Amino acid sequence: MNYTKNCLLPWSYMLIHAGGLMQTCPCASDIEIGDFLLDYIEKRDENPDIFNRESLQMVRKGLLTGNLRKMCRDCAYNTAELITTDELKQKVIQLLQSVRKDYQYQEGDDLTKQYAYTTIGVGFSNRCNLRCLYCNQSVCADTNPFYKAEFPYEYARIALEYFVNRGVKGIIPSVEGEITIYPHWYELYSEFHRNHPEISLAITTNLNREYSDEEIELLARHNILDVSCDSLDPEVYSKIRVNGRLDLLLKNLTKIKAKKEELHIQNTVITIHIVVCNLSWESLEEVSEYAFENGFGLNIGNYEERANARGYREHLLCPISQMSGEVQEKVSKILNRIRKRAEELGLDERHFVCHGDIIERLNKQVDRNYHRFEPVENICYQQFYKENPKGSEVSFLDIVYDDNNIAYTGIHFREKTPVVLNGLANIKRVVVREVLVYKEGKHSPKFDQRTAPGYRRVVTIEDGTLEVIPQGFTEDIDSILVTIEPLREKDE
């Protein structure tokens, strides 16, 4: 049994960019799953299955086995929480059975080949009127022709109808650019909403345009209207949201709220989206108060470093996790206060969204809890956890992935300080293996890899006690993960 991410997106959600690029999720940086224009639109007479390409199956397999791709290990979008591979399998089966009423899981079904797409994020235009520091637009909009890509109107209509026919229940019309500046935005989505009111529309927008009254109404009729606003301080706002105008955003928001009230629109959830980073954290409280006072929800984004963004390239932005312990503690307190307030107000999961588990991650960091997971099965790890509830800088429960994404679970040693495990009276022998992690720039001479699993050896337990001392430290080794598997009686 392995640990894995609690993520169902590669079975249920797809992102399609204006240039056609398809992705499993916003963090899918290391796998190519195809091009919607070339692989579907161009070949639509052949009715190709874009939802089951081999590369998608590879991502699903990584999640189902715990041998996670790098993008899933580093993911800033999904929760940091790990679950067991058995738990994820059950969740996938539940998803398939609840969405595809005809599907019944049979033992042995290959779940990498099954899917139930419920939500599609599709940005028919990559263009943007802003150049926010954390966004690729800040670098690429004026240098990369891909950032001027747009779906022709007819293709956009074909795409939307295709998703409806495939049983999709929600469309997110915003991906990488600002969809409300797409010339066909109003025509396309007002028609779509009229024809398919049952399909949820969830837009994230910068609201930085003058809108007609009809456009304000369309915005007010979205099921989720998520408005990006990192600060209510105009200086901070325009520092992050380059070219953005806070006054225009607030004016539009007021008009939308009034329209919603005037037309008695009940089912629109409006949220304010704040991306938490070094420049925005001091605005968190003011933005959340403004949101809650106005009956809006809050969408707390986890700043993800992007190599093609000015904020990263020019060292203008950094995630809270890279700031001083003092700041982390302050932000952790602020976020916990905001979450408590949201609970008091009875906000549901559509009104209070936290990306990437940012509050839990920060709490764990401030609490100096070093363990990556809570052991559920292995008595040796459970014993270590019991005696060291938070681990330490020197040894903690962790998962290390080798260069082929194979996962190794065990006690991670940063130095050669022994760990003594007691309370193992019921075990006679264990199988121990050292996984060597080489320093940056160094690699195993045998495999030319930075992470090298060593040989397995059987160790006898004396008096219910096992002393673990990592042996493989040399000057090239950064750390060592030791896996310890109790030998079951039938293996003896």
Q: Which of 245, 260, 273, 310 binds ligand SAM (CB under 6 A)?
A: 273
Q: Which is nearer to ligand SAM, 34 or 244 (CB)?
A: 244
Query: Least distance in Å: CB of 369 to ligand SF4?
Result: 21
Find the angle CA(267)-CA(271)-CA(274) to the nearest 5 degrees.
165
Q: Which is nearer to ligand SF4, 298 or 411 (CB)?
A: 298
**CA nearest neighbour of 296 among 270, 267, 262, 268:** 270
- Judged by beta carbon distances under 5 to 8 A according to partner kind, the member of ligand SAM, ligand SF4, none in contact with residue 275 is ligand SAM
- Judged by beta carbon distances under 5 to 8 A according to partner kind, the member of ligand SAM, ligand SF4, none in contact with residue 78 is ligand SF4
The answer to whether 118 contacts ligand SF4 (rule: CB under 6 A) is: no
Q: Which of 23, 114, 118, 228 binds ligand SAM (CB under 6 A)?
A: 228
Which residues lie below 8 Å from residue 109, measured CB to CB, with a gap of 6+?
none
Which residue stretch of 24-32, 41-49, 156-164, 262-270 sits at the interface with ligand SF4 (rule: CB under 6 A)?
24-32
The answer to whether 57 contacts ligand SF4 (rule: CB under 6 A) is: no
Query: Least distance in Å: CB of 195 to ligand SAM?
Result: 24
DSSP state of 51: G
Give the per-residue contact string, 187-216, with ligand SAM (x = CB under 6 A; - = no). Answer: -----------------xxx----------
Q: Which is nearer to ligand SAM, 317 or 452 (CB)?
A: 317
Query: Least distance in Å: CB of 164 to ligand SAM?
Result: 23
Decide: helix, strand or coil at residue 424: coil
Residues 288-347 that bind ligand SAM (CB under 6 A): 301, 303-304, 306, 309
The answer to whether 135 contacts ligand SAM (rule: CB under 6 A) is: yes
Handedness of CA 122, 124, 130, 135 (dihedral sign): positive
Give the per-residue contact string, 390-429, with ligand SF4 (x = CB under 6 A; - = no). Answer: ----------------------------------------
Query: Least distance in Å: CB of 378 to ligand SF4?
Result: 23
**CA nearest neighbour of 8 among 73, 59, 71:** 59
Decide: helix, strand or coil at residue 13: strand
Give the per-residue contact string, 178-217, with ligand SF4 (x = CB under 6 A; - = no). Answer: x---------------------------x-----------
**CA nearest neighbour of 166 among 52, 268, 60:** 52
**CA nearest neighbour of 396 among 375, 426, 376:** 375
C-alpha dihedral over 188, 192, 195, 200, to 10 degrees? -160
Distinct helix (H) and strand (E) counts, the chain:
16, 18
Give the per-residue contact string, 77-96, with ligand SF4 (x = CB under 6 A; - = no). Answer: xx------------------
**CA nearest neighbour of 483 among 413, 418, 411, 392:** 411
Check if the beta carbon of residue 78 is closer than 8 Å to that of residue 6.
yes
Q: Which is nearer to ligand SAM, 71 or 275 (CB)?
A: 275
Q: Which of 2, 3, 10, 408 binds ligand SF4 (CB under 6 A)?
A: 10
The answer to whether 280 contacts ligand SF4 (rule: CB under 6 A) is: no
Query: Least distance in Å: CB of 278 to ligand SAM?
Result: 13
Give the per-residue contact string, 31-50, with ligand SAM (x = CB under 6 A; - = no). Answer: --------------------
Q: Which of 5, 17, 221, 222 binds ligand SF4 (CB under 6 A)?
A: 5
Q: Which of 21, 28, 116, 468 binds ligand SF4 (CB under 6 A)?
A: 28
**Burial (CB count within 10 angstroms: exposed 0-12, middle 13-18, buried 19+), residue 278:** middle
Q: Which of 132, 139, 159, 481 binds ligand SF4 (CB under 6 A)?
A: 132
User: Rounded to an integer, what distance in angstroms lies between the CA atom of residue 336 and that of residue 327?
Assistant: 14
User: Rounded to an integer, what distance in angstroms lies between the CA atom of residue 277 and that of residue 318?
Assistant: 6
The answer to whether 112 contacts ligand SF4 (rule: CB under 6 A) is: no
Query: Least distance in Å: CB of 325 to ligand SF4?
Result: 27
Check if the beta carbon of residue 310 is closer than 8 Å to that of residue 316.
yes
Q: Which of 21, 128, 338, 362 binds ligand SF4 (CB under 6 A)?
A: 128
As given in the structure block, the two tokens for residue 133 are 């520091």
* Cα-based distances in Å from 100 to 87, 95, 332, 418: 20, 8, 40, 52
The answer to whether 246 contacts ligand SF4 (rule: CB under 6 A) is: no
Q: Which is nearer to ligand SF4, 27 or 300 (CB)?
A: 27
Largest CA distance in the chain: 79
Comparing every residue's Cβ against ligand SAM, the nearest one is 228
Pairing of strands 119-122, 170-172: parallel
* Cα-based distances in Å from 323 to 81, 193, 231, 318, 332: 22, 44, 19, 8, 12
Decide: helix, strand or coil at residue 312: helix
Helix (H) or strand (E) holding 248: helix 246-262
Q: Which residues sit at the interface with ligand SF4, rule CB under 6 A?
A: 5, 7, 9-10, 24-25, 27-28, 59, 71-72, 75, 77-78, 128, 130-132, 135, 137, 176-178, 206
Q: Which residues sit at the interface with ligand SAM, rule CB under 6 A?
A: 128, 134-135, 174, 176, 178, 204-206, 228, 273, 275, 301, 303-304, 306, 309
